[in-house]
Amino acid sequence: MRVNVATKIFFGAYRVSSTKQEPSVADEGGDPRLLQLDRWLQTLFGARDFTLTTASADASFRRYFRVTRGKETWIAMDAPPDKEDMQPYIRIANLLADVGVNAPRVMHSNVEQGFLLNSDLGSRTYLAELNAPENVDPLYHDALTALVTIQSRSASGAARLPPYSMALLQREMALFPEWFCGRHLRLELDDKMTAALQVIYDALATEALQQPRVFVHRDYHSRNLMVTDGARYGANPGILDFQDAVYGPVTYDLVSLLRDSYIAWPTQRVHDWIRRFRSEAAQAGVAVGASEAQFLRWFDWMGVQRQLKVLGIFARLWHRDGKVGYLKDLPRTLEYVMEVAGRRTNAATDRHHAQAAVAGGWQAAHSVSHRSAGGCRHTRHRGQSGVAGQCDSQCTR
């Protein structure tokens, strides 16, 4: 009996055939990239005595498979060479290993075909483990410590990374009006609003470029940090998805971690973590500004820049790539922007313009994302069964 390869991957392990006859893409009607990966692994191991199971896919064209051979496991990356460049991933994996944090080690590579075989950091994401209240402070302690380590020990390597330039910051924020406002909310921004947005973009980018520069992961958050055990999978946290790293603002990765689009925390708790990070980073020799107030301002405005970008990316993932899962996180991300715009702008007119940049889409985004997610994710709105319930007007998650 023949079974479609893609079907077997979806429902569980695809055990590579032990017969000498290789599966035919035409016969199986399956996944050509998976079969190509299968053949490459067979060449590495010298036998077809392993299994492949889906590990994860991310917001790009990359896919990850867990390779199991006896009691050993690895992670195979599939990055189609016409869509993904593997060289940055390899360079930055080596850089992170050199500074002493836990990132996947590249065991074997085939850059021409777009395959890597990496060490395995397990399957326990921070996001899943943060559901247990007793895990929160220990996990953030480890993540903040690792971030200090990266920033304090990677200076020479970080300086050779692409710069987080004015042009890159502006390109990122341009995703907000194009994909979130235009494509997702179908809003037509008039010339006055477009000009007001550009003033905000210029101010945010200028503020970011005034910060001390360090290694910037760019997505240092709960879905890219793994809870590792200190033994088989290495020291906590395991750090993934670092291939787009740049040389940029000192607060950027801290924002990614503490103003996470996938999970939110009370402001006071976030500020406590920020203060702890700033103190430890300063002791380790990282430039963190002249005062706590300056650092907090950098953090807030850096967050607005990042979150405008994320709103555009999440909308693009749905409208261009058909990935609906990120829509449910739009309200939380947008609320971060609204909160800072309301708290940080001083004059009433400035506050009006800053909030106007996003306020027009708030109710629409809230409605669209809740419909797509099938309900509210806020804990206090769940029934006894844990099923998402009806959302009230104060829900921002």
What CATH number should be reported for the domain holding residue 232?
Answer: 3.90.1200.10
In this structure, are 91 and 61 located in the same domain?
yes
In this structure, are 336 and 237 located in the same domain?
yes
Give the pLDDT score at 229. Answer: 86
Short-list 329, 254, 313, CA closest to 59 = 313
Give the pLDDT score at 373. Answer: 38
In this structure, are 68 and 134 located in the same domain?
no
Q: Is residue 390 part of a domain?
A: no
CA 323, 396, 127, 284 dihedral sign is positive
In this structure, are 71 and 162 located in the same domain?
no
Predicted TM-score (pTM) above 0.75:
yes
Q: Domain limits at 291?
A: 126-381
**Is 226 within 8 Å of 237 (Cβ atoms)?**
yes
What CATH number should be reported for the domain holding residue 109?
Answer: 3.30.200.20
Give the pLDDT score at 179. Answer: 97
Q: Is residue 139 part of a domain?
A: yes
Give the pLDDT score at 56. Answer: 76
In this structure, are 335 and 310 located in the same domain?
yes
Give the pLDDT score at 344. Answer: 81
CA angle 149, 152, 155 (to 5 degrees): 125
Residue-wise pLDDT for 107-117, tens only, equals 999 999 999 99
Question: How far apart are the C-alpha atoms of 323 and 3, rounded to whole Å?
Answer: 26
Give the pLDDT score at 377. Answer: 37
Q: Is residue 191 part of a domain?
A: yes
Q: What is the DSSP string of 230-251?
A: SSTT-SSPEE---TT-EEEETT
Q: What angle do helix axes 166-175 and 292-319 make, rounded to 10 degrees?
A: 50
Q: Which tokens sit at 175? A: 């995703």
How many helices (H) and strands (E) in the chain?
15, 10
Q: Is residue 393 part of a domain?
A: no
Give the pLDDT score at 59. Answer: 56
Question: How far apart are the C-alpha atoms of 267 and 277, rounded to whole Å?
Answer: 15
In this structure, are 59 and 75 located in the same domain?
yes
Q: How far is CA 117 from the centre of its chain?
A: 21
Low-confidence ranges of the chain (pLDDT < 50): 1-29, 347-397
Give the pLDDT score at 231. Answer: 84
Q: Is residue 258 part of a domain?
A: yes
In this structure, are 279 and 373 located in the same domain?
yes
In this structure, are 66 and 180 located in the same domain?
no
